[in-house]
Structure 1
């Protein structure tokens, strides 16, 4: 059972403004139309309205979360997981979001070995509890504080400033290195979600090429290469092949 949708703060403010001025903005009208459709059980209509907001340039974790809920209600498992994953990049420690994402993942048909992933979550827990933006901003802020403390130490020669600077330097350096690693990883190995109910992963670009294996809706993969209308994807160490671009949704890109 998924947890309920949430009304965006900006949409609530827009609704109040609408009552005051009798002229809602197009985005507010689209959100409210989608909310009304969702509550009436017209999930495809809700998806259509909310995706229009996304295509206008709005990147909001609450909106992505609601889209995930609507897609799951509409039995569109692949898109549901994609929207939850996009929301999780912006707000990774949201309990309702994690609950719904875990529930949606439990419905998928494909399984991989999670030992390495679980170990990474333990050793690098901050990278899974904070958003990537928060990691980068906090690391840069720590770096700034370090240099301010060093300047204060140079001017006053008080050891307290120097000791505090060293304490700040370690987590700041770790966060900056983490942000750099995330940036490199995003550019080199983009993550994506399988959208159709089932898709053949082949040895090449042609429909006649050998079918290596089949993936199903919601499976999470890494994009290794891009050629024309195809991606080379990696699902696990022994499962690498080619699929059409339209069969996957990139988590870091709104298509």
Structure 2
């Protein structure tokens, strides 16, 4: 891996975890990677979730040669900070440790096009933009109603209308992004060698096998089984306990 960055916990809600975070970073710099991983995991176990902790933990597991937790923690960091180039770069390095080399089949749809065109934007980003445009529209309406000159009123009306339309569009993008992200469930394989079954039964035939660090999409859940799909479109069933879902912690 060419580049490692350490983030500092700056948010007030993480101030109580800062000493442990600094301790974990010190372990990492001293190449005591097992101790560093334990300290970062302790922060997460206390309910302090942040892209910084997940990113540094991913770096630590990469150094330990543990591909599955490295990929998982980078994915979690990217979930909290979409589009971050440092996280994406380190995730790419970690993925090179995987055994499986699965060729991705491109997805279609406007939500995919939106994400590809604006890779650093999620539903929260679009929602903030929508609110900003609506506030600008309100300002324009204010100038329209209270402006004394005809030209000012005319330009204010045009400005308010344009800002309102952009706010509606951004709001639509926020809803689309939110729906897409919440309907898409993904997980990372933690088992070293995981047989993918043709049916959700232990005695069913193996369709194929996947290995630690491979990312899968969860299509449905049935008892203790996940119906999964690979990036190349292959599908099957795996035990839910053998993978770890990438989702926001509460």
If the TM-score is normalised by the length of the shorter chain, which range does it land in?
0.7 to 0.9
Question: Which residue of the other structure, out of 129, 136, 150, is the alignment partner of 1:138?
Answer: 129
Gaps of 5+ in 1: 16-24
Q: Is the 8 A contact 2:138 2:160 kept in 1?
A: yes
Cα distance, 1:215 vs structure 2: 1.9
Q: TM-score, normalised by structure 2?
A: 0.82
Equivalent position SS for 2:104:
coil
CA contact (8 A) 1:149 1:162 kept: yes
Q: Does 1:56 align with 2:46?
A: yes
- 1:1-255 equivalences under 5 Å are 1-10=1-10, 25=16, 27-108=17-98, 109-116=100-107, 124-125=115-116, 127-150=118-141, 152-154=143-145, 156=147, 158-236=153-231, 238-254=233-249
Q: Which runs of 5+ in 2 are unaligned?
A: none
Out of 1-10 and 204-213, give the one that drifted further: 1-10
- 1:65-119 superposed Cα distances (whole Å, 9 cap, x missing partner): 10110111111112111111111122223332221112222333232335447x9
Q: Do the aligned partners of 2:219 and 2:228 also contact (CA within 8 Å) in 1? A: yes
RMSD: 2.9
> Residues 166 and 33 from structure 1, CA distance in 2 versus in 1: closer, same or farther, beyond 3 angstroms?
same
Count of residues in Structure 1 that have an aligned counterpart in Structure 2: 242
Q: CA deviation at 1:216?
A: 2.1
Describe the shift of the 1:56–1:152 C-alpha distance in structure 2 as closer, same or farther (beyond 3 A): farther
Using the TM superposition, give the Cα deviation of residue 53 of structure 1 relative to its aligned residue in structure 2, in angstroms.
0.8
Q: Is the 8 A contact 2:23 2:39 kept in 1?
A: yes
| Offset of residue 32 of structure 1 | 3.0
Structure 1 Cα separation of the partners of residues 80 and 233 of structure 2:
31
Q: 1:129 aligns to what SS in structure 2?
A: coil
Cα distance change of structure 1 residues 183 and 160 upon mapping to structure 2, 3 Å threshold: same
TM-score by length of 1: 0.80
